[in-house]
Amino acid sequence: MRSFAKSFAISAVTILLLVASLSALEVDQKFHNAPESAQKMKNPYEGNDAAAQAGKPLYGKYCLSCHGKLGKGTGNFPSLVDGKLDSVPPGEIFWFITRGSKANGMPSWASLPVNTRWKIVTFVTSVLPALNANPGAASAAPSDTSTAKLKAPPPASPFTDFRYERPGTIHKITVKDLPPPYATRSADNGPRLVARPENVWPVTLPGFKVELYAAGLDNPRTLRTAPNGDVFLAETDPGRIRVFRGLTSDGKPEQSAVFASGFKNPYGLAFYPPGPDPQWLYVGGEGEVVRIPYHNGDLKASGTAQHIADLSWSWFGHRTRAVEFSPDAKRMFVAVGSGSNVDDPDTNPKEKNRADILVCDPSNCQLSVYASGIRNPGGGIAVNPQTGELWCSVNERDGLGDNLVPDYITHVQEGGFYGWPWWYIGGHQDPRHKAKHPELKDKAIVPDVLLQPHNASLEFAFYQGQQFPGEYKGDIFASEHGSWNKAVRVGYEVIRVPLHQTGHASGEYEDFLTGFVLPDGNVWGRPVGITVAPDGSLLVSDDGSNSIWRVSYSGK
């Protein structure tokens, strides 16, 4: 789930989606106020098949790294083929590409020749929809023409990249390790997704085994294990919740069913009340929290979704909304990421109630701020069963160089302020907000565990199973979705954060499940969801290969 700072520059067409929402989203008016002259512009290549095909390599060069081969989006970058461009005049699309959006870090693409911009518009509006209507479209899709800087020298410790991620390798980043802003240039190196080669498999520690639990999914994201042992999965793009039951001898579910559908970008899943006998499944979507009747053993929802709370949203920004309940069932927590990379909430109203963890009484949900200044905690929140503390996994800001700002995993202090957007990792001021809010410098909390910058930390789980060795009891396993804002990729793995059977971290983390990036820098897998299965194995969703992986321990 990463920032839109520099990546928007490569993916100019991202901003186009805002136009389609002109009549519905008043909060984003300042981003899509195209002048009448733009609306009247005609596409000189309208109906020109040759020009549309000429846009294919241009899309591959400027847009594919964020929006994917078929324009369906990757991570937090939105889809270009979900109908939102259908009613947008081509002149508005061209105008947005040309003008850019400084507020969201996307520079003007006026430097591209006029005919190049129009060919991109033509390809996106005519060819991409046709490719998605064709089941064999993958081979006809454009190729990414960018290249990763794989010949770069080894990174200086404690920073790393995918070339040096190995199961069992321990990392620890401290405040004193942070470089100054802009020590390196801000990189554009989005993931180039490819099919997993037949001879490639995720890699883990000796004694552990990796199996393919489920395949052929559609944008699999959050995983949650129900009290009865069923495993629930949010498939975000198609807007549905799946459920898996049982385990075959070859490590696959015995049953699979669609529990409910019709959601808008569902992500967060939580059963209520906590404990052995839930009555509801709560779902955090892009713009709201809803709940569905649920009782142990249900493979299909017995009722329709009920609206619980509205959440701030826009076409820009993070769309993940994690949900969690306190053990006493008296509080519901909802994590909402920022709508930008570093926009100032003082002057940008769309940041209201974003970059926060919100809280309410589930019996009468009136959301208020539990903790603030957390750029994107929406990838994962969970209560530590040993201490009762709320923890979160955070995507920090981009654009300050390869090794700033570290993502992090931390316990969350009620009323705590974690810096965004004015400060980071304690009293380090973001130079883009120089001299702003000096009174907050000493209030900015340093997180418990600093992770590699830009690696997009998402869902995590506290290991409470009985299968892994005893030393893993209570530890955190977390998915690192992978970078775009680093010259050589980092993340694309699952990590372990030791809590030392005390419930508290000491700052280090360990590579646990790697191998999702090929030696040439191409990416085939992107971990997202994490849950502990009833037998104590670990399940990991992967929205790169649209799979779920199962990690078990044999003791050998």
CATH number at residue 386: 2.120.10.30
Beta bridge partners of 324: 333
- Which residues are paired to 406 by β-bridges? 453
Same domain for 198 and 239, yes or no, is yes
Which helix (H) or strand (E) element contains residue 9? helix 7-10
Do the domain assignments include residue 416?
A: yes
One domain for residues 208 and 61: no
Strand bridging mode 208-214 / 220-225 = unpaired
Residues 6+ apart with CB under 8 A from 476: 391, 409, 460, 461, 462, 463, 496, 497, 499, 505
The interaxial angle of helices 114-122 and 90-99, nearest 10 deg, is 130
- Asked if residue 85 and residue 213 are part of one domain, the reply reads no
For 85, other C-beta atoms within 10 Å of its C-beta total: 23
Residues 181 and 136 in one domain: no
Q: What is the CATH number of the domain that holds 125?
A: 1.10.760.10
Q: DSSP assignment of 435-459, as one string?
A: TS-GGGGGGBPPPSEEEEETS-EEE
Shared domain for 422 and 280, answered yes or no, is yes
Residue 517 CB-half CA count within 13 A:
26
473 domain-assigned: yes
Ordered strands of the 547-553 beta sheet: 208-214, 547-553, 538-542, 527-532
Residue 122 vs residues 94, 157, 326: alpha-carbon distances, Å: 10, 46, 50
Instruction: Please answer whether residues 222 and 529 qualify as being in contact, where contact means their C-beta atoms are separated by less than 8 angstroms.
Output: yes
Write out the chain's pLDDT in tens, 556 residues.
444 333 433 444 443 444 333 333 333 433 357 788 888 889 998 888 887 888 888 887 777 766 667 777 655 556 777 776 777 888 888 888 888 765 455 667 777 888 888 888 888 888 888 777 775 666 677 766 554 457 889 999 999 999 999 999 999 999 999 999 999 999 988 888 999 999 999 999 999 999 999 999 999 999 999 999 999 999 999 999 999 999 999 999 999 999 999 999 999 999 999 999 999 999 999 999 999 999 999 999 999 999 999 998 765 678 899 999 999 999 999 999 999 899 999 998 889 899 999 999 999 999 999 999 999 999 999 999 999 999 999 999 999 999 999 999 999 999 999 999 999 999 999 999 999 999 999 999 999 999 999 999 999 999 999 999 999 999 999 999 999 999 999 999 999 999 999 999 999 999 999 999 999 999 999 999 999 999 999 999 999 999 999 999 988 6
Give the pLDDT confidence score for residue 11 in this predicted structure: 45
Opening angle at CA 396, ends 391 and 400, nearest 5: 155
Residue pair 445/416 in contact (Cβ under 8 Å)? The answer is yes
The length of the chain, given as a count of residues: 556
3 state SS for 473-542:
CCCEEEEECCCCCCCCCCCCEEEEECCCCCCCCCCEEEEEEECCECCCCCECCCEEEEEECCCCCEEEEE
- Position 556 scores a pLDDT of 63
For residue 21, what pLDDT is reported?
39
Does residue 462 form part of some domain?
Answer: yes
117 and 177 in a single domain? The answer is no
Q: What pLDDT sits at residue 66?
A: 64
CA distance 492 to 359: 31
- Running DSSP on this structure, what letter comes out for residue 417? B
- Could you tell me if 199 and 124 lie in one domain? no
Cβ proximity of 529 and 549 under 8 Å: no
Distance of alpha carbon 534 from its chain centroid, rounded?
A: 26
Do 115 and 249 lie in one domain? The reply is: no
294 and 419 part of one domain: yes
The pTM score is 0.81
In a domain, 354, yes or no: yes
**Which pLDDT value is given to residue 136?**
61
Other CB atoms within 10 A of residue 485 CB: 27
Strand partners, 449: 409
Quote the pLDDT of residue 194: 93
Residue 151 lies in a domain: no
Number of alpha carbons in the 13 Å side-chain half-sphere of residue 264: 12
Domain around 93: 7-140
